[in-house]
Amino acid sequence: MLLGRPVSSSLGVAAGPLLNSKWVEAYARLGFDVLTYATVRSTFQAAYALPNIRHVDNRELAAVVSRQANNGATIAVSLGEPSMEPDVWRKDVRRAKERIGRGQFLIVSVIGTPRPGGDAEALIADYARCAGWAAEAGADAIEIHLATPDPFVEQPQMIFENVPLAARILHRTRTTVDAPVLARLGAFKTPRLLHETATRLAPWAHGYVLVHSINRKVFDDKGAPAFEGHGRERADVVGAQTFTVAARQVAEMLAWRKAGAWDRAILAVGGISTVERAREVLREGADAALVATAALFDPLFAARFRQVRTAEVA
C-alpha cells in the first residue's frame, strides 16, 4: 500500500527521467510501479543549453567532472527545471494515467514559477494552481518540489529551508486539491533542522520525498565551472555517490516516525543504484524506494528487483 492505495511493488522512479506519457508507460512496462511524472510548471520553460549532464566524482567540498563514466554512475545535472506548456502536459498526464496498469501509482511533480516583481503570495498561488491541474489530470499524488532556490532571500537557500514559506505552499496546496500531497525535500545541514522542518510541515503533507539530489558547485578538472552560463555554477548531483548522505537522512526520518513524531509516508530517493540498496531502505521502513539515475543506466533494474523479491518469498 502507498498512501492508501494498493501497489504491486514499492519500487519506482523519482522525478526526472519520466519526461512524458511515453516514458511513464515504458517504465511501467519495465516493472516500476511508483512513477513520477517529471516536474511541471504553470508556464513553458526551456532547458538550459547543452551539456546538461556531466559524469562527476562527488568530493568533500564540490563535485569534479570525471573523464570517464564511473562505475556507480554519479552525475551532475543542470537542466533549469524545464517544463512543457500547461495545455500540453495536462493532456499528457491524462494519457500517462490511462497507460499505467493496475497496482501502479502516478505521482506528478510540480514547481512554482516566480514572476518578475512577484511576491511570495503569487508563488504560493502558482504552486497550488499547478497542483490543481495535476490532480484534475488524474495524478494519484502531487509532489511539491521544495528543493529549489528561494527567490526571496539574499543569502542562497532552498525553499524547504524557509520553513514558513514551505508551510504556506503546502497548506495552500493541501486545501486546494483532494489528492495526497508529498513534500520534496533536499539535504539538510543537521539532523535537528531536518526533524524540526519535517515536524512543522507534517500537518500539511501526507508524506516526504527525500533526498532527490545534493546541490553543489561543480568544476571541471582545471577548476573552471563545469556548466557554462549565468546561474549554472551549482548543479544537482545525483547517483550512487549520494547514497551515504541520502540514506542517513532517510534513516533519521524513519527513526523519528517510529518514535511517534508524526505519521507520514517516507519515499526514499538518492543513490539507490543497486537492488541491494533498494531492499535496504525498504527493510528499514521506507514506504517506497525511488530510483532515477539507476533507471536511466539500468532499465532492467525493476526486473532484477522482482527476481530478488520472488526468491525471498520462495
Condensed to tens digits (0 to 9), the pLDDT of residues 158-186 reads 999 999 999 999 999 999 999 999 999 99
Q: Which residue has the cell 515504458?
A: 26
Domain 11-52+86-215+240-313: CATH architecture, name and number where available: Alpha-Beta Barrel (3.20)
38: CB partners within 8 A, 6+ apart: 15, 16, 17, 18, 19, 20, 23, 109
Gap between the Cα atoms of 36 and 238, Å rounded: 16
CB 8, CB 104: distance < 8 Å = yes
* One-letter amino acid of 234: R
Contact call for residues 104 and 288 (beta carbons, < 8 A): no
Give the per-residue pLDDT at 230: 87
Angle, vertex CA 5, rays to CA 280 and CA 269, nearest 5: 30
d(CA 124, CA 127): 5
CA gap 155, 172 in Å, rounded: 26
Mapped onto helix, strand or coil, the DSSP state of residue 192 is helix
pTM to 2 decimal places: 0.95
pLDDT the model gives residue 310: 59
3-class secondary-structure state, position 74: strand
> How far, in Å, are 32, 98, 110, 157, 242 from residue 25 at the CA level?
10, 9, 19, 35, 28
At residue 271, what are phi and psi to the nearest 5 degrees? 70, 15
Quickly state the pLDDT bin for 248 (edges 50, 70, 90).
very high
Percent of the chain at pLDDT exceeding 70: 96
With CA atoms as reference, report the closest residue to 282 among 14, 32, 10, 13: 10
pLDDT at 148: 95
314 has a pLDDT exceeding 80: no
Q: pLDDT > 90: what percent of the chain? A: 88
pLDDT at 124: 98
pLDDT of residue 233: 92
Enumerate the domain spans of the chain: 11-52+86-215+240-313
pLDDT (average), residues 233-244: 94
* Highest mean pLDDT (candidates 168-172, 211-215, 218-222): 168-172
